[in-house]
Amino acid sequence: MTASAEAKGAAGSLPPVHVIGTGLIGASIGLALTGAGADVTLEDQSETSVALARDLGAGRITGPVEPGVVVVAAPPDVAPRLVLTALERWPEAVVTDVASVKQVILADLVRAGVPIERYVGSHPMAGRERSGAISARADLFEGRAWVLCPHDGSDAAATQIVARLAQATGAAVTTLSAADHDAAVAAVSHVPQVAASLVAARLEGLSEQAIGLAGQGVRDVTRIAASDPGLWTQILSGNAAAVGEVLRVVSDDLVAIVRALEALGEDTNVADAPGARAVLARSIAGGNAGQARIPGKHGAPPASYAVVRVVVDDRPGELARLLAEIGEEGVNLEELRLDHGLGLPFGLAEVSVLPAAAGRLSEALQGRGWQIHS
């Protein structure tokens, strides 16, 4: 039994699920839960959308008698109203929403002044570049975090049911308060997006030769700058306070760096601007400390891998041959990065392995005729 199938075993105990909103996320939840054996009904203000989701296998349309759990999969600005309606329509059901911001929604519900002990907000950390039921996938949540945000007044039993639902999609459940959730996604998702976009915007005016100097560093930093402006305007607006709080600190740090560079640009004599250099050094060191906190794969603590660099010709099958031979040596690949040379028909494969395996792997690959950049 695979881990994925084990996770889905939990769905057998799920009460009937009603999904309101059959866009990408709602339809994917329907597909995942139906696939895991749950009884899923669907609802959407668009008849076309709900029919499409049904046809794709996300669930039945026939009106729910009495669902045990209701999932509101709608944008933050309509989610609170739909949650309140659901709590009223089904007085025994647990209700969750899956919007990517949580405080704004909880505040709206509290303001409504009705009991919300059966409501537990949540956020599956998954998405796609495309939207709509047509892009839905049963495996969208597999291996992704799904954050639960119980509040002061929520029932423990309600939280457990939402957790079982999330687990049944293959997601890894984690629990945070709404405020902590919003602050966390501001730091690990929303602020990196803004930084990537602003750095990328500075590349537009470069000459062909200048942009030709772009290496792996700027490629990595700006990869997510290709994201959709409409989607990100919604996300940033919905988490404005938390994103603003983190970005204000980044902005202050940046202003200090600009001032330090201005001081250094006017006078490059080391003795005259010791404070300016300290600002730069502290900024880079601060980044070291933060970067080191990002967990390694599988949620494990960050591991320090050894990197073996191998020259790989740019032909079909060459990289495969390399990885096959690494496999034959019994070495597990932890990370792989391809670094293509400028104007040359080969690349460098940076193979990350556990430090204890690196020396043996280098020797073995050289013995097999690979050129190693040691």
- Residue from 9, 12, 153, 327 that binds a second copy (CB under 8 A)? 327
CB of 12 to a second copy, least distance (A): 20
219 sits near a second copy (criterion: CB under 8 A): yes
Structure tokens at 238: 């919905």
**Binding to a second copy, residues 71-100 (CB under 8 A):** 77
Nearest 10 degrees: Cα torsion 329, 331, 332, 338: -80
User: Nearest 5 degrees, angle CA 309-CA 310-CA 311?
Assistant: 130
Distance CA 60, CA 48 (A): 14
Least distance from a second copy to the Cβ atom of residue 41, Å: 25
Alpha carbon 170 to its chain's center: 15
When the beta carbons of 51 and 319 are compared against a second copy, the nearer one is 319
x/- mask, a second copy, residues 160-179, rule CB under 8 A, reads: ----------x-x-xxx---
Q: Using the rule CB under 8 A, is 194 a contact of a second copy?
A: yes
- Is residue 157 at the binding interface for a second copy, with CB under 8 A as the rule? no
Q: What is the largest CA-CA distance in the chain?
A: 78
The reply on whether position 220 binds a second copy by CB under 8 A is yes
Contacts of 192 (CB under 8 A, 6+ apart): 224
- Is 73 in contact with 123 (CB distance < 8 Å)? no
The C-alpha atoms of residue 343 and residue 17 are separated, in whole angstroms, by 55
Size of residue set near a second copy by CB under 8 A: 144
Beta strands in 116-267 (DSSP E): 121-124, 145-149, 172-175
- Going by C-alpha positions, the residue among 169, 69, 78, 167 that lies closest to residue 119 is 69
Tell which one of 12, 153, 275, 299 touches a second copy (CB under 8 A).
299
Q: Is the dihedral of CA 339, 341, 345, 348 positive or negative?
A: negative
Work out which of 12, 114, 324, 363 binds a second copy, going by CB under 8 A: 324
Interface mask toward a second copy for 99-138; x: CB under 8 A? -----x--------------------x-----------x-
Taking the C-alpha atoms of residue 147 and residue 359, their distance in angstroms, rounded to an integer, is 40
Query: Binding string to a second copy for residues 340 to 359, with x set by CB under 8 A, is what?
Result: xxxxxxxxx-----------
Q: Which of residues 16-45 bind a second copy (CB under 8 A)?
A: none
Other C-beta atoms within 10 Å of 12: how many?
11
- Note whether 316 binds a second copy by CB under 8 A: yes
Q: Please, what is the minimum distance in Å from the beta carbon of residue 15 to a second copy?
A: 25
Q: Give the one residue of 183, 308, 361, 364 binding a second copy; rule: CB under 8 A.
A: 183
Distance CA 261, CA 275 (A): 11
Give the span between the Cα atoms of 330 and 178, in whole angstroms. 45
* Residue in 168, 178, 170, 16 with CA at minimum distance from that of residue 97: 178
Question: Quick one: 39 or 253, whose CB is closer to a second copy?
Answer: 253
Residue with smaller CB distance to a second copy, 156 or 289: 289
Select from 51, 110, 218, 303 the one that contacts a second copy (CB under 8 A): 218
> What is the footprint of a second copy within residues 233-262 (CB under 8 A)?
233, 236-238, 240-241, 243-244, 246-251, 253-255, 257-258, 261-262
Q: Which of 111, 115, 271, 297 binds a second copy (CB under 8 A)?
A: 297
